[in-house]
């Protein structure tokens, strides 16, 4: 099955955060606050995804207030933070949205993402991903994480589904 065939049936986008929505760096100040940089075009792409009537979820190992704020601003449907077993959360997402593996697109970068990468109908890696993740990916973005990788993926899926705005 080629990428466009996989993209045609996608109804849910599942995202990792650090190393996918961001470039992977976490900046901490002396007060224990964390700072992350997000790409504005990725954010607008997520808004277009939402406007197209599609669902999205964040599944991340860390807990962060800034991720909650970013998710709300980008119309992310469900957010799961402080996750130890991403495979178990994936099962929960399939039940919540009543979907099959073939209807899910996942974008990840590190070993914790492997359980979802192995099952998602469209498994996507970013260039910075660990080799094990790239080996499982159906597609690797040209754009870097935190620098348009999500937008590239969203455009591919939305254009395939004829949901890209004029």
Q: pLDDT tens digits, residue range 24-58? A: 888 888 888 888 899 999 999 999 999 999 999 99
What pLDDT score does 117 carry?
97
* Domain-wise residue ranges, the chain: 3-160
With cut-offs at 50, 70 and 90, classify the pLDDT of residue 64: confident
Close Cβ partners of 107 (under 8 Å, ≥ 6 residues apart): 13, 14, 15, 16, 20, 124, 125, 126, 141, 149, 150, 153
With the C-alpha atoms ordered 130, 134, 135, 137, is the resulting torsion angle positive or negative? Answer: positive
Mean pLDDT of 111-138: 97
With cut-offs at 50, 70 and 90, classify the pLDDT of residue 148: very high
Question: Which residue reads 């040209």 in tokens?
Answer: 142
Quick: pLDDT tens for 103-116. 999 999 999 999 99
Mean pLDDT of 75-103: 97
Check whether 128 has a pLDDT greater than 80: yes
> Please, what CATH class does the domain formed by 3-160 belong to?
alpha beta
Long-range contacts of 68-72 (CB under 8 A, 24+ apart): 70/21, 70/36, 70/38, 70/43
What pLDDT score does 27 carry?
85
- How much is the pTM? 0.94
Task: Please state, rounded to an integer, the average pLDDT across all residues of the chain.
Answer: 95
What pLDDT score does 12 carry?
98
User: E strands within 72-145?
Assistant: 78-80, 104-108, 122-125, 139-140
For 44-65, give one letter per residue: b (16+ CB within 10 A) or e: ebbebbbeeebbbbbbbbeebe
Q: If you compute the radius of gyration of the chain from its CA atoms, what whole number of angstroms results?
A: 15
């Amino acid at each position: 099955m080629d990428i466009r065939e996989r993209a045609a049936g996608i109804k849910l986008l599942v995202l990792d955060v650090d190393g996918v929505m961001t470039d992977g760096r976490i900046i901490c100040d002396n007060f224990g606050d964390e700072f992350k940089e997000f790409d504005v075009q990725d954010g607008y792409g997520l808004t277009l995804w939402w406007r197209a009537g599609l669902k999205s979820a964040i599944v991340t190992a860390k807990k962060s207030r800034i991720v909650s704020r970013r998710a709300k601003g980008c119309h992310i449907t469900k957010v799961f933070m402080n996750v130890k077993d991403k495979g178990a959360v994936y099962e929960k997402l399939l039940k919540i949205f009543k979907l099959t593996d073939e209807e899910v697109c996942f974008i990840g970068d590190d070993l914790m993402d492997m359980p979802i990468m192995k099952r998602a109908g469209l498994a996507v890696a970013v260039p910075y991903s660990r080799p094990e993740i790239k080996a499982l990916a159906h597609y690797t973005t040209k754009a870097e994480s935190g620098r348009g990788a999500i937008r590239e993926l969203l455009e591919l899926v939305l254009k395939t589904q004829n949901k890209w705005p004029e």
